[in-house]
Structure 1
Amino acid sequence: MNIKITGTGSYIPNVITKNADFHLHEFKNLDGTRFPHSNEETIKKFKDITGIEERRYLDDNLNASDIAFLAAQKAIEASAIDIETLDYIIVATNYGDVKKGAIQSDTVPSMAARVKYHLRIKNPRCVGYDILFGCPGWIEAMIQAQAFIKCGMAKKCLVIGAESLSRVVDKHDRDSMIFSDGAGAAILEASENGGGILAHESATYSYNEAHYIYFGKSNSPQADPNVRYIKMNGRKIYEFALINVPKAMKSCLEKSGKSIKDLKKVFIHQANEKMDEAILKRFYKLFGEEFPEGVMPMTIQELGNSSVATVPTLLDLVINKQIDKQELKKGDIIMFASVGAGMNVNAIVYEY
């Protein structure tokens, strides 16, 4: 049995926020003291490191579950399945729905239940649940979905990654410039045709690393002390990722039985352009190879880091030839890889 992606979809929010829009922000250190550099210097350095020039935010009237539904609709249309035949809807998210101006995330009912409601699926045996796995959540949900199919518990699964990080960022934290919103979805099915998922790898490093990404108070002493925002230790994450992501990718590729020379594309979590490049260089070096040009499609420059949505959104854009000089051909060997809060790492090798 082969387990294949038969349709993809994505939702790219309409609100474009450029780096220049942060010039009037009052950035502070964790201890509340004023950031030592001018905003112009801070933003320039930020662009040089992350590659981000702009990011997308949700319209005020939309929530993460809304765009999860919109991405799902496109994936369902592309796959041409009957929605009543879906066995599972799995939604990867970190904060659920956070309404504009709210101070709480809303995960009751689950995002998956909300998506199923919006899709108007009547079948009660279509089971919906959410997965919390940090930025690698969509890849981990794909791994779970293929396990359901492989063991006979399912034939068709809808797997979604959706996030609205713009609503949990601290405007006094320079890291707020990294995060964005978006949603991506895929239909995974059992297939008699060749290809599909060849191997996967997952790991959680939490002995010392669990709190590299966390929920913390604002950097501003004047902010409400009871409100929490997404925070991260960028240096620790960078060092962690450079060691552990290439290792997981290498293990996954070896499990698949494919060669590094077979690999046509790597869809890696769009976290930081310099970090992603360094991860890929180190991964190829483990096989004694140079990192080839064009193997790593990137959207972070325009879309920022939308967490669980980055990989499925990237895949959908490449499949639909919306990224210049990037395309997939039947039989291409590709890899999905990610790292995020937990600290979690995972990868999938897939034959397109």
Structure 2
Amino acid sequence: MTAPLKPTTTVQATSVLGLGVYRPSTVVDNEQICQWIDSSDEWIRQRTGIVTRRRAPADVSVVDMAEGAALDALRDADTSAEEIEAVLISTVTHPYQTPSAAADLAHRIGATPAAAYDISAACAGYCYGIGQADALVRAGHAKKVLVVGVEKLSDVIDNHERSISFLLGDGAGAVVVGPSEEPGISASILGSNGEKWGAVSMDSSLLRLRDALSEAQTTGDASRLLDPEERLWPTLRQDGQTVFRWAVWEMAKVAKQALEKAGISTTDLAAFVPHQANIRIIEELAKQLKLPEHVLIGRDIVDAGNTSAASIPLALHRLRAENPEISGGLALQIGFGAGLVYGAQIIRIP
């Protein structure tokens, strides 16, 4: 008979210990957006709720923004980088397939030799990260985990493309997850619907770029590389109606599952923080959930736009800053996006 393995942990509960953000300095309003697309400030406000969005300058990278949010979260959690044993970054805009943004961030903040990896789950990526951090701590793989949602979506949009470009902004949000005496993170609801895989996606520009480079090397003719009509850098596009209908009708069901898993009702909530995709989706979800009047709703999209994996921590941070009395209360958070993927859980607000 072989020797028994040592139990990995005695941790039974986890919580979000601290919250931080990074908001780029450049503000882009709807009038500027309308220089690129045939639209109006009124139309954008009515359809999306967006008044402004933040865009990072060219010399500010995904990891730069992640670092700003991470250091802010560590301060809020009164935690040193040396205590972090895993770094998770949710992003789809890190310009390198490998190495990961997380490994770079861990080195920058002094969390080495923490485990580090990126999560590609688009607008649900932050909720995926919270679910994984909760599991890592409870399984004994890390005492404390840094989770960052960060996007530089301005790098992957065509400003003249009308289906999604005017929605998008840049930014980062981060949290520290660690052990606690009482449960502060509920069981996560994570899932996907690959049948609608192409409803939000980056086009195949990188494949065209590969072909154009090969052609230039073979023929010596680089004209295709310089042709603006080729659009050889990948750009985001979406089928807006498909995404809207899916989010409105299916995500309310997911939110209700998260509440049931946590063993609470909407009356127990202090806040509802959905992915900041569109103000009409946010309002419809709140309506379907029949949220009581005391539940605060994240509407960061008005000033920040849709920041994909960063949107939930950014919205929660704003809610807490404007309403400090919700600290210690419960928040229902739900992310959904390209894939189509979704994630939801209840957290206790730090």
TM-score, normalised to structure 1, is: 0.85
In the TM superposition, what is the alpha-carbon distance from 1:294 to its structure 2 partner?
5.2
After the TM superposition, which residues 156-305 of structure 1 pair with which residues of structure 2 at under 5 Å, given as runs? Answer: 156-174=144-162, 175-192=164-181, 194-206=182-194, 208-216=195-203, 223-284=229-290, 292=293, 295-305=296-306
The residue aligned with 1:152 is 140
After the TM superposition, which residues 1-352 of structure 1 pair with which residues of structure 2 at under 5 Å, given as runs? Answer: 1-25=12-36, 27=37, 38-40=38-40, 43-96=41-94, 105-121=95-111, 123-124=112-113, 126-174=114-162, 175-192=164-181, 194-206=182-194, 208-216=195-203, 223-284=229-290, 292=293, 295-319=296-320, 321=321, 323=322, 326-352=323-349
Gaps of 5+ in 2: 1-11, 206-226
Change (3 A) 1:148 1:217: closer
3-state secondary structure, aligned to 2:187: strand
- Higher Cα Rg, which structure: 2
3-state secondary structure, aligned to 1:198: coil
In the TM superposition, what is the alpha-carbon distance from 1:50 to its structure 2 partner?
0.4
In the TM superposition, what is the alpha-carbon distance from 1:244 to its structure 2 partner?
1.4
3-state secondary structure, aligned to 1:81: coil
- CA–CA distance in 1 between the matches of 2:48 and 2:117? 33
In the TM superposition, what is the alpha-carbon distance from 1:292 to its structure 2 partner?
3.1
In the TM superposition, what is the alpha-carbon distance from 1:83 to its structure 2 partner?
1.6
Deviations 1:76-96 (A, max 9, x none): 111122322211000000121
8 Å CA contact retained: 2:144, 2:178: yes
Across the two proteins, how many residue pairs are aligned to each other? 316
When structure 1 is superposed on structure 2, of 223-232 and 151-160 the one drifting more is 223-232
- CA–CA distance in 1 between the matches of 2:204 and 2:166? 17
Deviations 1:229-263 (A, max 9, x none): 00011100000011211111101101111122112
Change (3 A) 1:113 1:215: same
8 Å CA contact retained: 1:244, 1:345: no
Deviations 1:282-310 (A, max 9, x none): 223xxxxx663652121111110111111
When structure 1 is superposed on structure 2, of 45-54 and 195-204 the one drifting more is 195-204
When structure 1 is superposed on structure 2, of 156-165 and 272-281 the one drifting more is 272-281
If each structure's helix is expressed as a fraction of its own residues, which one has the higher value? Answer: 2
Change (3 A) 1:330 1:76: closer
Give the aligned CA root-mean-square deviation in angstroms: 1.8
8 Å CA contact retained: 1:266, 1:297: yes
8 Å CA contact retained: 1:90, 1:160: yes
Deviations 1:17-48 (A, max 9, x none): 110012322x4xxxxxxxxxx533xx422220
In the TM superposition, what is the alpha-carbon distance from 1:149 to its structure 2 partner?
1.0
Gaps of 5+ in 1: 28-37, 97-104, 285-289
Change (3 A) 1:327 1:195: farther
Letter matched to residue 299 of structure 2: M
TM-score, normalised to structure 2, is: 0.86
- CA–CA distance in 1 between the matches of 2:245 and 2:293? 23
3-state secondary structure, aligned to 1:223: helix
The residue aligned with 2:218 is none
In the TM superposition, what is the alpha-carbon distance from 1:317 to its structure 2 partner?
2.5
Letter matched to residue 22 of structure 1: I
The residue aligned with 1:32 is none
